[in-house]
């Protein structure tokens, strides 16, 4: 098949890499791609958010399938435009992408579908938002309604922190239109995990569970990032939980969207909080609650999940895009994967770009290296171009083996100012 993957990060490199490892050979393109995708696909110099330019390329090149990686082009209606052209696309239409693009909308859908989630109220007035804090207690979560590049969520430990977050969003306009509405939300106690559910708008197949590491420093300290690592499966998700997650969370949302005239096709990513046994249960009364929904493959979860998939990945994507998804389309290998993000010094704050990267080939001998923020330099060398630079994934028969292989790969890579967490999967190891 001729397949276009839209995006430029580690997630898109992992998607293209997995397609390149299908039993059949594909003609792969990536827009705009990065230095890593260039090894498995032809990079197209078109920005991921340039809906018109991508639609134009698709019209001229007639791909058999387009796989949209990031959330922004989904929210902007890229799949809507491709559908008008009759091109099968993996990803929801703009109305469905509101599950990520508007936290308020996602909450409305969850309430209507009876899906367990934290109590929340929506505000546009900072005075009213602050007045509501008392009923939520502490800690409390403050969320910008719209897309804020993963930075629009604050877990406030004190009332002062909560009020400052409200002022940042509603008064200082820190996140622009994304923060024009703010959710004040119940804090959910427990352990987070990610479930990537593939759906064709009717049928749902769960991909292997995973867990992301959001904080920048070891021990889950410091500010949130786009993700510093992940591993799959996540032991906090036990086998008996999967039917509940599918039947009480994912399927009801897909059906509720269909009731609203939205046929949701692609990935519905459920960020879940699982309360500890005997611990505090959310106001929903459920041990498993939805923290958020995303409308696409997670990053860096994708880099830990896709290496565990066997079979023909293109068939699964195409079947989801065209309403023919079956359980057998997803084949999971009996192995474990762990991913370590190698970042630029200073991330998630300011950082320098253009640093030459050495050791990529040697790292690839012991692990799989996905490029997150790279490009080719003037002399043809690979250089840094983002805060998260590389996603290094190790696979093994058990988690210890997978983590060791990932860090063995990281140890062979070098660039000025590189930084990474050294405790990926610590929660799983602490379980024993």
The domain ranges of the chain are 2-94, 125-180, 188-332, 336-431
The CATH number of the domain covering residues in 188-332: 3.30.470.20
* Burial of residue 158, with CB atoms counted within 10 A of its CB: 0-12 exposed, 13-18 middle, 19 or more buried: exposed
Q: What DSSP string runs through 262-281?
A: ----EEEEEEEEEPPTTSPP
Q: What DSSP string runs through 25-46?
A: --EEEEEE--TTGGGTSEE---
Report how far residue 95's alpha carbon sits from residue 260's, in angstroms, rounded to the nearest whole number.
10
Q: Is 238 helix (H, G, I), strand (E, B) or coil?
A: coil
**Residue range 354-404, pLDDT digits in tens:** 999 999 999 999 999 999 999 999 989 999 999 999 999 999 999 999 999
**Residue range 196-230, pLDDT digits in tens:** 999 999 999 999 999 999 999 999 999 889 999 99
Average pLDDT, the chain: 96
Query: What pLDDT is stored for residue 152 in this prediction?
Result: 86
**Residue range 159-177, pLDDT digits in tens:** 999 999 999 999 999 999 9
Query: What pLDDT is stored for residue 21 in this prediction?
Result: 97
CATH number for the 2-94 domain, one of 3.40.50.20, 3.40.50.150, 3.90.1210.10, 3.40.1410.10? 3.40.50.20
> Can you tell me the mean pLDDT for 302-320?
98
Q: What DSSP string runs through 128-177?
A: HHHHTHHHH-SSEEEEESS--TT--EEEESSHHHHHHHHHHHHTS-TTGG
**Residue range 16-67, pLDDT digits in tens:** 999 999 999 999 999 999 999 999 999 999 999 999 999 999 999 999 999 9
Q: pLDDT-derived band of residue 280, with 50, 70 and 90 as boundaries?
A: confident
Report how far residue 327's alpha carbon sits from residue 28's, in angstroms, rounded to the nearest whole number.
25
**In contact, 194 and 203? CB cutoff 8 Å:** no
**CA-based nearest residue to 265, from 333, 210, 316:** 316
> Can you tell me the mean pLDDT for 84-105?
97
b/e burial code for range 10-46 (CB count within 10 A of at least 16 → b): bbbbbbbbbbbebeeebebbbbbbbbbbbebbebbeb
Q: Is 200 helix (H, G, I), strand (E, B) or coil?
A: coil
Whether the per-residue pLDDT at 281 is higher than 90: the answer is no
CATH architecture under which domain 336-431 falls: Alpha-Beta Complex (3.90)
Domain 125-180 in this protein, CATH class = alpha beta
Report how far residue 182's alpha carbon sits from residue 117's, in angstroms, rounded to the nearest whole number.
17
Query: What pLDDT is stored for residue 223 in this prediction?
Result: 87
Q: Give the Cβ contact number of residue 240 at 10 Å.
A: 7
Query: What pLDDT is stored for residue 283 in this prediction?
Result: 80
Q: pLDDT-derived band of residue 157, with 50, 70 and 90 as boundaries?
A: very high
Report how far residue 39's alpha carbon sits from residue 199's, in angstroms, rounded to the nearest whole number.
29
**Residue range 129-152, pLDDT digits in tens:** 999 999 999 999 999 999 887 678
């Amino acid at each position: 098949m001729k397949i276009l993957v839209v995006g430029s990060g580690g997630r898109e490199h992992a998607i293209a890499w997995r397609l390149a490892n299908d039993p059949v050979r594909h003609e792969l393109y990536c827009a705009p791609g990065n230095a890593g995708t260039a090894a498995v696909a032809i990079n197209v110099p078109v920005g991921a958010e340039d809906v018109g330019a991508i639609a134009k390329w698709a019209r001229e090149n007639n791909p058999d399938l387009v796989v949209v990686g990031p959330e922004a082009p989904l929210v902007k209606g890229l799949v809507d435009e491709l559908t008008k052209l009759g091109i099968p696309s993996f990803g929801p239409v703009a109305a469905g992408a509101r599950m990520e693009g508007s936290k308020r909308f996602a909450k409305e859908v969850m309430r209507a579908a009876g899906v367990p989630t934290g109590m929340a109220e929506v505000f546009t007035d900072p005075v009213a938002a602050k007045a509501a804090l008392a009923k939520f207690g502490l800690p409390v979560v403050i969320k910008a309604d719209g897309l804020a590049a993963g930075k629009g969520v604050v877990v406030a430990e004190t009332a002062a922190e909560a009020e400052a977050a409200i002022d940042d969003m509603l008064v200082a306009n820190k996140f622009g239109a994304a923060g024009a509405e703010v959710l004040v939300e119940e804090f959910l106690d427990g352990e987070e995990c990610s479930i990537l559910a593939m759906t064709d708008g009717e049928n749902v197949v769960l991909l292997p569970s995973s867990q992301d590491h959001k904080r920048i420093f070891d021990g889950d300290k410091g500010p949130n990032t786009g993700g510093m690592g992940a591993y799959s499966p996540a032991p906090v998700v036990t086998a008996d939980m999967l039917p509940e997650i599918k039947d009480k969370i994912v399927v009801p949302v897909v059906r509720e969207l269909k009731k609203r005239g939205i046929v949701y096709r692609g990935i519905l990513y459920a960020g879940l909080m699982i309360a500890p046994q005997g611990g505090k249960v959310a106001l929903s009364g459920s041990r498993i609650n939805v923290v958020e929904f995303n409308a696409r493959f997670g990053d860096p979860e994708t880099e830990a999940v896709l290496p565990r998939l066997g079979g023909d990945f293109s068939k699964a994507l195409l079947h989801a895009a065209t309403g023919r998804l079956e359980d057998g389309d997803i084949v999971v290998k009996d192995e474990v994967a762990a991913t370590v993000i190698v970042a630029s010094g200073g991330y998630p704050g300011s950082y320098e770009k253009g640093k030459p990267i050495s050791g990529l080939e040697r790292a690839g001998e012991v692990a799989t290296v996905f490029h997150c923020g790279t490009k080719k330099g003037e002399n043809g060398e690979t250089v840094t171009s983002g805060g998260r630079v590389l996603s290094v994934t190790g696979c093994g028969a058990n988690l210890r083996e997978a983590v060791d292989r990932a860090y063995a790969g990281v140890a062979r890579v070098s660039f000025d100012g590189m930084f990474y967490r050294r405790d990926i999967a610590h929660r799983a190891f602490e379980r024993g």
